[in-house]
Amino acid sequence: MKGIQYSFYVLLISLLVSYTNAQVVIFGTNNYVEYQVGTLPLVISVPHGGNLEPGSIPNRTCNSPVYAVDAFTIETALEIKNKLFAATGCYPHMVISHLKRNKLDVNRNLADGACGNPEAILAWGEFHDFIADARNAANQQYNDQTFFVDLHGHGNPIQRIELGYLLYDDELELSDNTLNTLQYINNSSIKNLALNNVNNYTHAELLRGPQAFGTFLTNNNFPSVPSQSIPFPGLTSNYYSGGYITANHTCYNPSVPINGLQMELNFSNLRDTPANRTAFANAFTQSIIEYFNAHFSLDWNSCNPLSTINPILDTTFFVHPNPVTRGNLIHFNLPENTFYEYQFFNLLGQLVVSGELNSDKTLDSEKLNSGVYITRILNKSSTVLMTNKIIIQ
């Protein structure tokens, strides 16, 4: 499964998703890994929340493996998805490993993570290819202004969120001036943002200034480090600075254009109950929107250019045949003897053709090129009566 072969396919799916609000989900071999295709400029990976323990994959024993499961991180990620959808009408891209960590660790290199087992090797590759597919699809839609979050849960005693930018605890003790030198910017998972952002904030400001992601989270009631109020974690807190996934799917890797971080969630008052996970998902949603608005020049709402179109209002109205062979008539199943306006949009949300529907309630598909369209039917007072996707082949 090669990312590059899938990127156009994924882009097309993500465009379709944005017009239908349905979400496409792709599973890897044996359903060990899952990719929920999104349309926001946000990719979230969840590597350590899985609980599958197939007998065909022996427990990992190579190179001192860690088995700790990041409890409820999949549930937390899915709640984040729901809250982002409620706020924006669109979904983030989400890649999940369902294998328990004693069988596979996708946050390690292939040798250490799969320990030579063929099924685990396949799942490891599919997980990373799905992230690459998600990055490529989001980057095509948003001109490389995608943000990446590798979502984990930590077991450290201090109940706060640890944001890992690939800078160690002792490096975060350094002065702002030192962190703003190229030596440290080049080691950061937000390197490209530090070198080029709309307000010219410095690297240190992006890590722990008033507009840092950790500060937004803290202001939304989830204390985080680094942030304005907790600028560094201390040297004895077992702080997580970021791992293999963050190093390979952010601009720390020179072949990847996007910025991102590892996010380690505390358990108490965050992951521990459904109500706390919902509260955190709301805070995450608020924070990531504030973060995008602060540092990126993109149209956040462009994820769903037809979001103002009403869904199908009356299922007795429909269009047939669908798909229609180009040159044949498209029939609209509508009550007779009324004025109707038709509109056809392409997948960029651009109006392609419109007009008054004839008394037969048909349209010659010859007017349009082959492709996928969103059609709307409006009444005399411009109320949308019907929205349909139609394929002309």
Q: What are phi and psi of 275, to 5 degrees?
A: -65, -40
**Part in contact with Zn ion (CB under 5 A); list of ranges 145-153, 174-182, 287-295, 352-360:** 145-153
**Part in contact with Zn ion (CB under 5 A); list of ranges 70-78, 217-225, 318-326, 368-376:** 70-78
Look at the alpha carbons of 182, 262, 257, 305 in this order and tell me if their dihedral is positive or negative: negative
Q: How far is the CB of 194 from Zn ion (least distance, A)?
A: 25
Q: How far is the CB of 72 from Zn ion (least distance, A)?
A: 12
The single residue among 152, 249, 295, 361 that binds Zn ion, judged by CB under 5 A, is 152
Q: How far is the CB of 211 from Zn ion (least distance, A)?
A: 27
Query: Token pair for residue 9?
Result: 């396919």
Q: What are phi and psi of 147, to 5 degrees?
A: -115, 145
The answer to whether 144 touches 45, Cβ cutoff 8 Å, is no
Q: Which is nearer to Zn ion, 74 or 190 (CB)?
A: 74
- Helix/strand/coil (H, E, C) string of 314-357? CCCCEEECCCECECEEEEEECCCCCCCEEEEECCCCCEEEEEEC
The single residue among 48, 98, 160, 191 that binds Zn ion, judged by CB under 5 A, is 48
- Contacts with Zn ion by CB under 5 A: the residue count is 3
Looking from the CA of 321 toward its CB, the CA atoms found within 13 Å total 9
Residue 271 binds Zn ion, judged by CB under 5 A: no
**Part in contact with Zn ion (CB under 5 A); list of ranges 29-37, 149-157, 163-171, 366-374:** 149-157
Residue 100 binds Zn ion, judged by CB under 5 A: no
**Part in contact with Zn ion (CB under 5 A); list of ranges 62-70, 86-94, 224-232, 340-348:** 62-70
Q: Which is nearer to Zn ion, 139 or 262 (CB)?
A: 262
Residue 60 binds Zn ion, judged by CB under 5 A: no
Q: Which is nearer to Zn ion, 77 or 206 (CB)?
A: 77
Q: Which is nearer to Zn ion, 38 or 50 (CB)?
A: 50
Produce one character per residue of 144-175: b if its CB has 16 or more CB atoms within 10 Å, e if not. Answer: bbbbbbbbbbbeeeeebbbbbbbbebebbeee
Q: 54 Cβ partners below 8 Å, 6+ apart?
A: 30, 32, 99, 103, 119
Question: Residue of minimal CB distance from Zn ion?
Answer: 152
Q: How far is the CB of 238 from Zn ion (least distance, A)?
A: 13
**Part in contact with Zn ion (CB under 5 A); list of ranges 48-56, 142-150, 171-179, 299-307:** 48-56
Q: Which is nearer to Zn ion, 106 or 390 (CB)?
A: 106
C-alpha to C-alpha distances, 255 to 147, 249, 259, nearest whole angstrom:
15, 9, 12
Q: How far is the CB of 379 from Zn ion (least distance, A)?
A: 54
Query: Token pair for residue 300?
Result: 């956040």
Whole-number Å distance between alpha carbons of 228 and 13:
40
Residue 70 binds Zn ion, judged by CB under 5 A: yes
Q: How far is the CB of 364 from Zn ion (least distance, A)?
A: 57
The answer to whether 136 touches 12, Cβ cutoff 8 Å, is no
Residue 150 binds Zn ion, judged by CB under 5 A: no
Interface residues with Zn ion (CB under 5 A) are 48, 70, 152
